[in-house]
Amino acid sequence: MPFTLAIVGRPNVGKSTLFNRLVGKRLALVDDQPGVTRDLREGEARLGDISFTAIDTAGLEDANDDSLQGRMRRLTERAVDMADVCLFLIDARTGITPTDEIFAEILRKRADHVLLAANKAEGRAAEAGVIEAWGLGLGEPIQLSAEHGEGMSELYSALLPLSEGFAEVAARTSEEPDLSLPVSEEADEDGPAPTPDKPLQIAVVGRPNAGKSTLINRLLGEDRLLTGPEAGITRDAISVTMDWDSVPTRIFDTAGMRKKAKVQGKLEKLSVADGLRAVKFAEVVVVLLDAAIPFEQQDLRIADLAEREGRAVVVAVNKWDLEEDKSGKLAALREAFDRLLPQLRGAPLVTVSARTGRGLDRLRGAVMRAHEVWNRRVPTAQLNRWLGEMVEAHPPPAPGGRRIKLRYMTQAKTRPPHFVVMCSHPDKMQDAYTRYLVNGLRADFDMPGTPIRLVMRGQG
Ligand code: GDP
Ligand code: GDP
C-alpha cells in the first residue's frame, strides 16, 4: 500500500514543477472524485524504487489577495490531513518569508511527518536561503532544484526510512491481532542496543555562553576545546569520543559549527540551526541552561526541536555554583519546565557546575537512564491490558452518538517509542483523548521525558 505525500508551500516556490517531475506522465486528474476539490492534484509518483501518491497544492495564484491567505491555509490543512508525509517547499533564492512561517506553524501543529526542502537551490544564490531554512525548526533542509532535477537522491534518502516505516506498520496492522503475543517473538527493527563498538551519541546544545565547551572539557578531563567568555567564539571540534565512566560516548559539540556564522547579525539564528544539526546526530540531547537565565526563547526552541526530532532529552542547569537559593530555584525551574514544555513532561532536570564538576555524576545517570527509556519496548500483551483499563476508566469520545472503539495496540518502534492504536473512525479521534493515552503511557510505563508517538489507525 503506497503512502501519500503532500507537496505544500506558498505560491511560486516550485511545487508544481516538483510534482510534475515526480509524477511525470502518470498524472491522474481527480476533479470528479468526491472529497477532493479541484485545487488538489493527485498523481502516482515514483522516485527510484519508492512509489507513492503525490498531492500538489498549487494553483492558488488565481485567488485575489484577500482570500488567498485563508484559502491557502484551508487547502494546505486538507492536504496535510490526507497525507502521510508533507514535503514543505521553500524558495532558497528568496529566503524565508512570513508566509513560509505560517506554513511551518500549520505543519508543526498538524502533520505527522514533515520533510523540509529548499528548492531552487542550484547555484550560489541559494546558500543564504538554505541556512535560513534551518531556522524554521523542521530539520535539515533538503536542497533541491525541481527545475534541474538536482537533489533527487537526497529526497530519496529522506523518504526511504519513512516509506519502509509505512510498509512495516501496514504489514503489522494487517495481521490478526493476537493479544497473547509473547514479547520475545517481536523483531526489533532498530537493531541491538549500543554495544562497546557503537558509542552512545550525545549532543550538548544551548545558547552561546551556557557553558557547553566548559562542560565537554570537564568530561574529557583536558582542555581540548577552547572556552572563553565571548559569545559565539569559533572552535573546531565537532565531535569528541570518550569513555564516560566506561561507557563509550560520542559528544557532538555545536560550537565548531558556529564558524559558519560569517554574518554577525545572523548569530542568534545560526546557533539554533547548529544545535539542530547536532540534535540530528544524537540519541540523547543534553539541553544546557545557564541557571541565571534559564528557559529563554532559544532554549525552549532547541528543547522543542529535540522533542520533535524524537530524541531523548535531559536538561542540565549549569553554573549552579553561582546560585544562592538552590532549593527554591530548583522548584521554580521544575515548574517552569513542565509548563513551558508539556510535550517533555517529567524530563530529567539536573543541576551541574561545569566549572567545579559538581553534579556530573548525576548528569551521567540521567543520560544513561534517558537512553534506556528511549530504547524501551513495552510488550504487546501488557499494552493491551493497559489499554483496556484506560478505556474503562475513561471511554473514548462518541462523535455523533457512535462511540469510537479502540481495538488493539502495539508498539511499532523504539528510539523513541512509537505506538499504534487500531480503532474505528481514527479521523474522529480527539487530540485530548490521544493526550490522555500518551500521558498515561508516560506515567504507567515510567517513560518520563522521552518523546512518545501515538497514532490512531483504522483497520483495512
Ligand atoms: P508553485 O506555485 O509552488 O507550484 O511553483 P511553480 O512550480 O509554478 O514554479 C514557480 C516558478 O519557479 C516557475 O517559474 C518555475 O519555473 C520556477 N522554478 C521551479 N523550480 C525551480 C528551480 O529548481 N530553480 C529555479 N531557478 N526556478 C524554479
Ligand atoms: P559555550 O559558549 O556554551 O561553549 O560556553 P563556554 O563553555 O565558553 O562558557 C561561557 C562562560 O561561562 C565561560 O566564561 C565559562 O568559564 C563560564 N562557565 C561555564 N560553566 C560554568 C559554571 O559551571 N560556573 C560558572 N561560574 N561559570 C561557568
Statement to judge: residues 157 and 46 lie in one domain: yes
Residue 1, pLDDT above cutoff 80: no
Are both 324 and 399 inside the same structural domain?
Answer: no
Question: Using a 6 Å cutoff on CB, does residue 358 contact ligand 2?
Answer: no
The domain boundary, picked from 107, 138, 173, lies at: 173
Residue 64 CB neighbours (<10 A): 7
- Global pTM value: 0.55
Instruction: Specify which residues 406 forms β-bridges with.
Output: 423
Domain that holds residue 435: 380-458
Both 299 and 356 in a single domain? yes
What is the ipTM metric for this complex? Answer: 0.54
410 and 427 belong to one structural domain: yes
Highest mean pLDDT (candidates 42-51, 180-189, 429-438) = 429-438
How large is the average pLDDT for residues 319-331?
Answer: 92
Q: Within this chain, do residues 61 and 108 fall inside the same structural domain, yes or no?
A: yes
Contact residues for 79 (Cβ-Cβ < 8 A; gap 6+) = 6, 8, 40, 55, 57, 86
Whether residue 195 lies inside any domain: the answer is no
My answer on whether 162 and 280 are in the same domain is no
Tens digits of residue pLDDT in 143-154? 999 999 999 988
Percentage of the chain with pLDDT > 90?
Answer: 31
In a domain, 233, yes or no: yes
Look at residues 344, 375, 406 and tell me which one is the last residue of a structural domain: 375
Would you say the CB of residue 211 lies under 6 angstroms from ligand 2? yes
Residues 6+ apart with CB under 8 A from 62: none
102 lies in the same domain as 148: yes
Ligand nearest to the CA of 255: 2
Average pLDDT over residues 339-343: 88
CATH code assigned at 408: 3.30.300.20
Q: Could you tell me if 391 and 282 lie in one domain?
A: no
Please give the full DSSP string across 131-163, using - where no structure is assigned. Answer: HHHHTTSSSPPEE-BTTTTBTHHHHHHHHHHHH
Over residues 418-455, the pLDDT tens digits come to: 898 888 888 888 889 999 999 999 999 988 878 999 98
Q: What is the mean pLDDT of residues 276-296?
A: 86
Q: Which residue has the cell 533542509?
A: 141
Are 163 and 212 in a shared domain? no
Model confidence at 39, pLDDT cuts 50, 70, 90, reads: low
Q: Residue 398 falls within a domain, yes or no?
A: yes
Split into its structural domains, the chain has a count of 3
pLDDT for 192: 39
Mean pLDDT of 105-127: 89
**Ligand 1 centre from 14 Cα, in Å?**
4
Average pLDDT over residues 197-212: 83
Confidence of residue 223 (pLDDT cuts 50, 70, 90): very low
Average pLDDT, the chain: 79
- At 138 the pLDDT is 82
Question: Which amino acid appears at position 423 of this protein?
Answer: C
What CATH number is attached to the domain comprising 340?
A: 3.40.50.300
The Å distance, Cα 211 to ligand 2 centre, comes to 4
360 and 448 in a single domain? The answer is no
- Residue-level pLDDT at 244: 86
Residue 179 within any structural domain of the chain = no
384 and 371 belong to one structural domain: no
Together in a domain, 214 and 154? no
Alpha carbon nearest to ligand 2 atom 2, residue: 209
Cα–Cα nearest to 276, from 166, 162, 116: 116
pLDDT on residue 197: 53
The mean per-residue pLDDT over the stretch 175-186 comes to: 36
- The answer to whether residue 260 scores a pLDDT higher than 80 is no
Q: For position 363, what pLDDT does the model report?
A: 96
Residue 190 forms part of a structural domain: no
Q: Which of the listed residues 357, 375, 393 is the one where a domain comes to its end?
A: 375
